[in-house]
């Protein structure tokens, strides 16, 4: 399997937990939930309900933050892929002309065929010759206005 420096596929789900759920915020809520679960059998129904109601806003806040971060990571991925696509387009056009291609199909859409004419490795080599690093920041989504009940 060929490794490349320029183009890499990031599994958002793998890095997601490392980015989002570190620090005191996570530890604090995890400890409180574990404590509640351990003590739950000893509590009266009213006490259990009260503790659940106290934990719920914190859990919802973490879940909301997780959803926002997930959307930001996806927006960042899309922007980076568009940037890479912009760099790749001239390389693809050059290879298309050199190889006298009649049609180029994204590999992920091909069900079969002669993969000996696959341009991927040459596109990666062309990108590696053109760029070595892409610098980017995580996209920040605009703050959403709270929905008011009517």
Residue 64 has pLDDT above 70, yes or no: yes
In a domain, 19, yes or no: yes
In a domain, 150, yes or no: no
In a domain, 78, yes or no: yes
In a domain, 1, yes or no: no
pLDDT for 23: 62
**Domain of 112, in residue numbers:** 13-130
- Summarize the confidence of residues 30-47 as an average pLDDT: 88
In a domain, 6, yes or no: no
pLDDT in tens, 136-145: 888 888 876 5
Residue 78 has pLDDT above 90, yes or no: yes
| Residue of 15, 27, 135, 29 whose CA lies nearest to 72 | 15
pLDDT for 22: 58
Number of separate domains in the chain? 1
Residue 90 binned pLDDT confidence (cut-offs 50, 70, 90) = very high
In a domain, 31, yes or no: yes
Does residue 143 contact residue 74 with C-beta atoms inside 8 Å? no
- Summarize the confidence of residues 13-31 as an average pLDDT: 63
In a domain, 2, yes or no: no
In a domain, 68, yes or no: yes
């Amino acid at each position: 399997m060929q490794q490349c420096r320029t183009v890499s596929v990031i599994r958002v789900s793998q890095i997601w937990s490392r980015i989002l759920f570190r620090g005191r915020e996570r530890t604090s809520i995890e400890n409180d939930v574990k404590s509640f679960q351990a003590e739950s059998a000893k509590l009266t129904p009213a006490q259990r309900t009260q503790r659940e109601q106290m934990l719920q806003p914190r859990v919802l806040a973490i879940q909301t933050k997780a959803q926002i971060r997930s959307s930001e990571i996806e927006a960042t991925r899309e922007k980076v892929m568009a940037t890479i696509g912009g760099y790749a387009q001239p390389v693809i056009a050059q290879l298309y002309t050199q190889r006298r291609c009649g049609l180029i199909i994204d590999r992920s859409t091909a069900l079969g065929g002669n993969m000996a004419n696959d341009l991927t490795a040459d596109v990666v080599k062309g990108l590696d010759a053109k760029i070595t690093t892409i610098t980017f920041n995580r996209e920040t989504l605009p703050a959403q206005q709270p929905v008011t009940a009517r």
